[in-house]
A and B are shown apart, each in its own frame.
Chain A
Amino acid sequence: MLQLERANPTRFRQLLIPLAAILITFLLTALLVLLVNVNPLEAYWYFLVQPLTGRVSLIEVLVKTTPLLLTGAAVSFAFAGGYWNIGAEGQLYAGATAATAIGLHMERVPAPIALLLIIMGGFVAGMAWALIPALMKVKLAIDEVVTTLLLNSVALFGVSALLNGPWRDPISQWPQSPEIAASAIFPKLIPRSRLHLGFVLAVLTIALLWFVLARTALGFRMQAVGLNRNAARFAGIRVERTLLTSALISGGIAGLAGVSEIAGIHYHLIDAISPGYGYTGIIVATLGGLQAWGVALAAFFLGLIDTGAQTVSRALGVPAYLGDVIQATLLLVTLGLLLLQNYRIRWRGVRA
């Protein structure tokens, strides 16, 4: 019978797993494409290649990649540190709310200071939203999965209450805030495109992820706690303090994703500021193996799928929701395959 045996992960396997996951995912989702009478190969060409061939669509892929880099890095910081932060979505909304609150009052503040203020404000707000479950975790040993998850809904209701109440733009019919001051808006990286300063911020954050995890004592402590809490404690690491740090950095970076969407894309707060970037961040982090280069590639790949879903819907009439199905399938397949990284499949005769 088939048996799993423990084996050490190798570089080769680490590279092979994402590729195998992508292949299996596309084989599985091809069934859905066939269901709507479209050639899967043609559909995947629009998904994966076509967006990369034009300047406009390539820039759009980078625009879509930006929030995923940030939430992917946020989730990676937490997961690598053994803190299961499922609350990046709520922390993103907290960051977006703070960015709006500050941005609305930046009329007389020069641009560099205004930008610095909303970036810092969003980071602090994300941290603050992550603080409650983190404190409950380290002080009361209350599992963070459910508390961080539930606070996502609370954040959404909070934003919705603001938009239907004090922040309601009197001119617009929609529940949205007034626009933030021009000095607080992220400058564009390429004129007449949607690519903005947030992309730079996101790339720097990925670099920070690499630096902290690979080059600092803090990163070493975080990963030690993430791998084995008891062993870390035995080795003299202050586990609770390290967990708290992981959680707060994670929340702050998720908050930056909110800042980036407000100041770079929307300019006002709406309750649909994120189509689930916080949850997609979990896919990005898992697919990227919680490592900087992996997270960067995974975010780009999912940004490509987001863009490709629109392309394939326009070109072939395949509903764009196929992109969501592909992303979710990719997560589940990767989860399953990651196990193989630590195991070897052996065929053994059944003992009599």
Chain B
Amino acid sequence: MNEGIQGAFLIGLLAATLRVATPLLFATVGEVITERSGVLNLGIEGIMFLGAFVGFAVAYHASAAGLTAYLWLGLAGAIGAGLVMGALMGFLSVSLGVNQHVAGLGITLLCTGLSLFGFRVIFGESAVLPSITPFGQFSMVGDLPVLGPILRQYALTYIAFLLLIPAAWQLLYRTSFGLQIRAVGENPEAADAAGVSVYRTRYAAILMGAALMAVGGAFLSLAQLGAFSPGIIAGRGWVCIALVIFARWDPVRSVVGALLFGSVFALQLRLQTLGMALPFELFLALPYLVTILALALAGRNAAYPGAYLQPYRRE
């Protein structure tokens, strides 16, 4: 390879890394906020899937109706769907206090079934996947050499890195609401005694988290692909569950994990298209293995929220 091709390869890789990391960031931050309140939401995989589907279905029909803001309407639809599922998760895990992990898996199964059912009902069984014109990409630094093509990204990618992360950090560590979230996640009895509503705070965290998960899913259908397919999420939600642990429940550190996974994913994809005979699946399994290893190394010191997985009931 000469230098020019190497440079282009690297630029393409960096740009793809940011792109791959975007949906992971949205969903991971959503899961971080949820888990910080003491609730593990395993509905993440399904809520991302539902977000991708509802986002696409709404955008498709809005576009057919001639609305120019169809993509943003799709995004709003996805958020709405996420909120509905968040409310369901809240009802089950907060109001009823059932097993969080079983409830979460149930929501993933429900969202997957509903989306596939809905897709078949709305779009039938055509051989050609229906598609829309997706979000466009732009560069904040114009046509600068090197940086220009790397930063040619979707608006949602800019939002994820420049707005979402600082906002999530600000929310968790610099607002009284964030303090309440962390308090009910660490010690709900004490938070309750201090006058914080454990139920309301957990509901709010779950709802916020689910909306972000849905946006993460909708990014794939509305920006990256402009279409919806059954394999659109393909375990990305589970990657986020791993990233939350890898980030030790911190939104800023989740950027590192998302970028690392993004680069590994983008790299294996590129090497595959170059025709290299690599067991690329082993690359894809890396984030899971690294997370399990990280957990094993942290051992008893793993920074789980104090009331992780524990329903709260006022007796």
Partner of A84, one of B101, B121, B235, B288: B101
A282 touches B105 (CB 8 A): yes
Contact A151–B292 (Cβ < 8 Å): yes
**Bound CA–CA A331/B107 (angstroms):** 9
| Best-surrounded residue of A86, A282, A332 (most CB of chain B within 10 A) | A332
Contact A331 B106 (CB under 8 A): yes
| Residues of chain A in range 32-47 having any CB-CB distance to chain B below 8 Å | 32, 35-36
Interface size range on B against A: 35 or more
Residues of chain B contacted by A212 (CB below 8 angstroms): none
Whether the pair B295, A136 counts as a contact (CB closer than 8 A) is yes
Contacts of B300 in A (CB 8 A): 140-141
Query: Contact at B40–A145, with CB atoms within 8 Å?
Result: yes
- Chain A hits for B24, CB < 8 A: none
Cα of A276 to Cα of B113 in the assembled complex, Å: 12
Cα A340 to Cα B132 in complex, Å, equals: 47
Main secondary structure of the interface of A (DSSP, over half): helix
Known contacts A84-B101, A339-B96, A339-B97; A332 and B285 CB within 8 A of each other: no
Is A8 on the interface with B (CB-CB < 8 A)? Answer: no
Q: Is the CB–CB distance between B114 and A325 below 8 Å?
A: yes
User: When the two chains form the complex, which single residue of A149, A154, A282, A336 contacts B289, counting CB atoms closer than 8 Å?
Assistant: A154
| A150 lies within 8 A of B238 (CB) | yes
Closest to B313 in A: A4
Does B120 count as interface, using CB distance less than 8 angstroms? yes
Let me know if B238 and A279 touch, CB within 8 A. Answer: no
A161 touches B117 (CB 8 A): no
> Closest CB-CB distance, A143 to chain B, in whole Å?
7
Q: Flag whether A322 is at the interface (Cβ < 8 A).
A: yes
The answer on a CB contact under 8 Å between A329 and B110 is yes
Residues of B within 8 A of A338 (CB): 98
Which A residues touch B308, using CB under 8 A? 143
Alpha-carbon separation in the docked complex, A330 to B147 (Å)? 52
Closest Cβ of chain A to B223, distance in Å, is: 24
User: In A139-157, which residues have CB < 8 Å from any B CB?
Assistant: 140-143, 145-147, 149-154, 156-157
Contact of A153 among B42, B116, B288, B304 (CB under 8 A): B288
Within the assembled complex, what's the spacing in Å between the Cα atoms of A149 and B239? 11
Contact mask A132-174 → B, CB, 8 Å, 1/0?
1100100011110111011111101110110011000000000
CB distance from A205 to the nearest CB of B (A): 22
Known: A153-B238, A321-B113. A35 touches B121 (CB 8 A): yes
| A160 contacts B42, C-beta separation under 8 Å | no
Q: Is there contact, CB below 8 Å, between B106 and A328? A: yes
A104 interface residue per 8 A CB criterion: no
B92 within 8 A of A: yes
Cβ distance B233 to chain A, nearest Cβ, rounded Å = 12
Say whether A319 faces chain B, with CB atoms less than 8 Å apart.
yes
- Nearest chain B CB to A174's CB is how many angstroms away? 16
The verdict on A142 contacting B296 (CB below 8 Å), with A36-B121, A319-B117 known, is yes
Instruction: Write the nearest CB–CB distance from A9 to chain B, whole angstroms.
Output: 15
Check: A327 CB closer than 8 A to any chain B CB. Answer: yes
Determine if A324 is an interface residue (Cβ-Cβ < 8 Å). yes
User: Is B110 in contact with A325, judged by CB distance below 8 angstroms?
Assistant: yes
| Chain B 218-243: CB-based contact to A (< 8 A → 1; otherwise 0) | 00000000000000000100110110
Instruction: Name the interface residues of B96-138: CB closer than 8 Å to any CB of A.
Output: 96-99, 101-103, 105-107, 109-110, 112-114, 116-117, 120-121
* Bound Cα distance from A133 to B292, whole angstroms: 9
Find the residue from A158, A165, A325 having the highest chain B CB count within 10 A.
A325
In the complex, chain B residues whose CB is within 8 Å of the CB of A286 = 102
Is residue B245 within 8 Å, beta carbon to beta carbon, of the partner chain?
A: yes
- Interface membership of B59, Cβ < 8 A: no
The answer to whether B109 and A154 have CB atoms under 8 Å apart is no
Interface pair A336/B92, CB less than 8 Å apart: yes
Residues on B with C-beta less than 8 A from A282 are: 102, 105
A283: chain B residues at CB < 8 Å are: 106, 109
B281 at the interface (CB under 8 A from A): yes
Minimal Cβ-Cβ distance residue in B for A35? B121
B103 near A322 (CB under 8 angstroms)?
no
Q: Are B121 and A319 in contact (CB under 8 A)?
A: yes
CB distance from B217 to the nearest CB of A (A): 17
The answer to whether residues A161 and B241 also contact, given A145-B101, A321-B120 and a CB cut-off of 8 A, is no
B23 to chain A, nearest CB (A): 16
CB distance from B234 to the nearest CB of A (A): 10
28 A-B pairs (CB sep. < 8 Å):
A35-B121, A140-B296, A140-B300, A141-B300, A142-B299, A143-B308, A143-B309, A145-B40, A145-B309, A147-B295, A150-B241, A150-B242, A150-B291, A151-B292, A276-B109, A282-B105, A283-B109, A319-B117, A319-B120, A323-B113, A324-B113, A325-B117, A327-B109, A328-B112, A328-B113, A332-B103, A335-B92, A335-B102
